[in-house]
Amino acid sequence: MSVSIFVVRAVIEVAERSGAARADLRARMPFEWHRLEEPDARLEFEQFEQLLSVAVALTGDEALGLHVAEQMSEGAIDLLAHVAAHAPTMREAVESSAQFVRLGMDELRLVSRDEGDAFVVHYSFPRSTPRSDRILAELFTGGLVRLARAFTGMSTFPRFTTFEHERPPYQGAYARIFGDHQRFSQNATSIAFDRQIADQPQMHLHPELYDLLRTEAQRRLDRMTTGARPATRVRNYLLAVPPSRIPEISTAARDLGMSERSLRRRLAEDGTSYRDVVRAALEASAGRMLRDPARTIKETAAALGFADAAAFHRAFKRWTGMTPGEYRRTSGA
C-alpha cells in the first residue's frame, strides 16, 4: 500500500507551520527526501504512518489530522483534488473522489448514499496504530467538510460525524470543523450532510475542464493498476477493512467489482484462495498492532476479532511460529 507524494507534502507543510524543522523531520525519517520533487512518487504506507507519528512528536500537535485538512493547499491531493473541486455538485465530487481515490492513497474507500433527507459518506482506510487511525479519520472527514464549504459556503456544518476512536481532548477543534453533532467510539467513520447540499449546483462549473480532468485521472489510474495481481488487490482491500469485520467473499467480490465466482477463479489462478488471503491480511494487521507498544496483546486480539487473547495466541503462533510476546520482543516494540 502506498500514499501519493502530494499527501506526504501536505503533512510536511503543516508540520513545518506548526514548528517542526525540516532538518528534524529528515533526521527522524529514513526517506529519500529528493522524491518530494517527483510528482509520480509514492510513499509506502508504513513510512507514511511513521511520518505522522514523527510529525506529532515534533509539533506536539495531536490534532494534526484536522489541521492538515484545514490548512493544506488546494492541490495537496494532486489531480484528485482538482477533479473534486470542478465537479458540478458535491454529490458528484464525492462519487468522482471514490472512483479515483487510489490516486491519493491505496485502499482508501468512500461509499456514499442517501439516508432519508441526509447524504451520508462512509470511509474505510488502511488500519495501523490507534493514533494513525485517528489522524486519518480526522483528515478525511475534515477534508470533506472543507469540500462542502467550497461548494456551499463557510457556514456549512455536517448533520453529524461518527468516529471509531474515543473522544479526544481537543474538543474545540472538532466543534469548529464539525459543529455540535459528533459521535465517538462508533462502529464506522462517516459524515452526513443535508441532502439538498449534496445536489446544489456549483456556481463556477466548467464542464470541459471537468471532463479533461476526469480523463487524465482515469489515465493515471489505469497506469497504476495495470498488472496488479488478484491476490494483491484482495489483500490491499482487506487491509482497509477493520480486522474484526473482515467480510465474506461475496461482499469482497461485490466491492471489487466482480462476481464471487470470478474472484474465486482469479485467486485460484494466482495460486491462492480467499481464506489464505484473509489469513495473510490478519497476520499483517496483527504485526502492525503488536509493533505498537501502546497497545496490549489483549487489545490487539479484540481488534482482530478474536474471542480472547488465548485464541489469538494460538492463531498467531500458527501463522508465524512465534507467540505474540516473542514477536513483540524481536520487533523491538
Average pLDDT, the chain: 86
Task: Identify which of 21, 263, 14 has the alpha carbon closest to the alpha carbon of residue 143.
Answer: 14
Dist CA 207 CA 84 (whole Å): 13
Residue with cell 503462533: 317
Q: How many CB atoms lie within 10 A of CB 18?
A: 18
Position 332 confidence tier, pLDDT thresholds 50, 70, 90: low
Residue 333 clears pLDDT 60, i.e. is over it: no
Widest Cα–Cα separation across the chain:
60
The whole-number pLDDT of residue 185 equals 92
Indicate the Cα dihedral angle 31, 285, 243, 303, nearest 10°. -110
Position 226 confidence tier, pLDDT thresholds 50, 70, 90: low
Residue 75 clears pLDDT 80, i.e. is over it: no
Mean local confidence (pLDDT), 102-129: 86
**Model-wide pTM > 0.85:** no
Mean local confidence (pLDDT), 21-45: 85
Position 225 confidence tier, pLDDT thresholds 50, 70, 90: low
The whole-number pLDDT of residue 255 equals 78
Percent of the chain with pLDDT over 70: 96
Question: For residue 138, how many C-alpha atoms fall within 13 Å in the half-sphere facing its CB?
Answer: 28
Q: Which of these ranges, 177-181, 204-208, 251-255, 261-265, has the smallest mean pLDDT?
A: 204-208
Q: Which residues contact 276 (CB under 8 A, 6 or more apart)?
A: none
Dist CA 4 CA 11 (whole Å): 11
| Residues 130-163: tens digit of each pLDDT | 888 899 999 999 999 998 888 887 688 999 999 9
H/E segment holding residue 3? strand 2-4
The structural domains of the chain, ordered by start, are: 63-198 (no CATH), 230-330 (1.10.10.60)
| Residues 288-313: tens digit of each pLDDT | 788 777 778 998 888 888 888 999 99
